[in-house]
């Protein structure tokens, strides 16, 4: 299993790095889930790529392994990861839930509302927020 994990992960982009801020208001499991999701959408992680075992990633980040497990479960619920007991987690081959899914759209709207409210309280103008959002979307869609 370790060998499979090693060979599979070596094929990933070298920049597949996670960065979490333990002092942030955003829970660590959400930071991890958000970054892994972004890596999948950007194509840095491809279908079939294995992710590090929960305990290994917890060790590297210096946090409890349940936090990593929660992040993996969140991504599994979204259809982005497959978790096979005894074989770890890998990026799912199927496409994630359709954007037209009303529940997913409602979740997105809710999280966006919270995020926009937070950055507004920190003084960012509406124009700047729209600009940043567009830059992020363009970045995810690629050249």
Partner 1 sequence: MSDAAWLRVIEWGLRIFQAALILLWPKLMFLTQDRALRRDSTLFGVRVPSDFGDSQIGREIFDEYRKRIWLTAILFAAIFAIGAPNGPSVSGLWYFGLLLGMLLARWVFYAMAQRRVRMEGGPAPESSVRTASLIAEEPIQRPGLRFAAFAVMLLPMMLPVITGLLLALDWRRYPSRPHLDFTAAMLAFTGAFGLCMSALQYALRYHARSSDWAADPAASLKYRTDLGLMMGSASLGVIAWGCILTLTQLFGIGMGIQFAISYPVMFGVIIFSRRMRSSLVKQFDPQSGDSMADRCWKWAYFYFNSSDPAWVVPTRSGVSCALNHARALPWICYGLSVTALVALVGPWAKIVAETRALH
Question: With CB under 8 A as the contact rule, which of the stretches 55-63, 97-105, 108-116, 132-140 interacts with partner 1?
Answer: 55-63
Nearer to partner 1, 58 or 129 (CB): 58
d(CA 78, CA 72): 10
Contact 64, 22 (CB under 8 A): no
Residue 128: CB minimum distance to partner 1, A: 24
Does 129 engage in binding with partner 1 (CB under 8 A)? no
Structure tokens at 50: 């294995």
Of 52 and 96, nearer to partner 1 (C-beta) is: 52
For residues 60 to 79, the per-residue mask of contacts with partner 1, x marking binding by CB under 8 A and - elsewhere, is xxxxxx--------------
DSSP 42-81: HTSS-TTPBPPPHHHHHHHHTS-HHHHHHHHHHHHHTTSE
- Asked if 47 is part of the footprint of partner 1 (rule: CB under 8 A), the reply reads no
- Whose tokens are 């496409």? That residue is 95
> Which of 113, 127, 56 lies closest to 89, judged by CA?
56
By CB under 8 A, which span of 2-10, 72-80, 100-108, 121-129 interacts with partner 1?
2-10
Q: Is 83 helix (H, G, I), strand (E, B) or coil?
A: strand
Rule CB under 8 A: which residues touch partner 1?
A: 5-6, 9-10, 12, 14, 16-24, 36, 39, 45, 51-52, 55-65
């Amino acid at each position: 299993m370790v060998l499979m994990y090693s060979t599979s992960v070596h094929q990933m982009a070298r920049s597949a790095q996670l960065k979490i801020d333990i002092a942030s208001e955003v829970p660590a499991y959400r930071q991890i889930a958000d970054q892994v999701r972004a890596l999948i959408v950007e194509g840095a992680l491809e279908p079939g790529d294995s992710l590090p075992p929960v305990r290994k990633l917890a060790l590297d980040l210096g946090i409890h392994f349940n936090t990593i497990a929660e992040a993996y479960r969140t991504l599994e619920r979204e259809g982005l990861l497959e978790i096979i007991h005894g074989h770890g987690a890998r990026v799912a081959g199927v496409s994630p839930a359709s954007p037209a899914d009303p529940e997913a759209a409602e979740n997105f709207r809710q999280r966006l509302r919270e995020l926009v409210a937070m950055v507004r309280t920190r003084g960012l103008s509406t124009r700047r927020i729209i600009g940043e959002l567009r830059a992020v979307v363009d970045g995810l869609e690629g050249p």
